[in-house]
Amino acid sequence: VQRTIAKQIQMVRQVGKGRYGEVWMGKWRGEKVAVKVFFTTEEASWFRETEIYQTVLMRHENILGFIAADIKGTGSWTQLYLITDYHENGSLYDFLKCTMLDNRALLKLAYSAACGLCHLHTEIYGTQGKPAIAHRDLKSKNILIKKNGTCCIADLGLAVKFN
């Protein structure tokens, strides 16, 4: 957990809401970032998601890019932040409702989502290995669309490692 990043982020606008809290588009070092702000009651979900994202060899082009996690205390209440890459096209669910795609573009989406899921599920052996990870909440609302027309898997709040 990086304890200074939350103070450096300018919250711009809310872009989503769920059972865990809210998602905001923010600015950090001149770049757009996504900031998932967890309700205090969802600390276990924040902790689990942070732990999964910090797993060695977790980075993959089809898994949402993790930047940092932070806790921001403001007197009487605490905010739990998860900061990730921001993808302005939003979720696969919303994207497919308002976008006409040809077969090539659809295949690109499907293939990239499958690649991300494959990376999650794959155990990498060795001292710097990665356990297999089960997402446990994979749906079109938890898959984001990148600018290049590929997908990345998001929302690892229910994910578990296989040990």
- Enumerate the active-site residues: 137
How far apart CA 18 and CA 24 sit, in angstroms, is 12
36 labelled as ligand-binding?
yes
Instruction: Count other C-beta atoms under 10 Å from residue 17's C-beta.
Output: 10
Distance from the Cα of residue 116 to its chain's centroid: 12
Which of 84, 163, 82 is closest to 130 using CA atoms?
163
**Quick one: tokens of 58?**
């977790």
How far apart CA 155 and CA 153 sit, in angstroms, is 7
User: Which residues carry a binding-site annotation?
Assistant: 36
Annotated binding site for ATP: 36
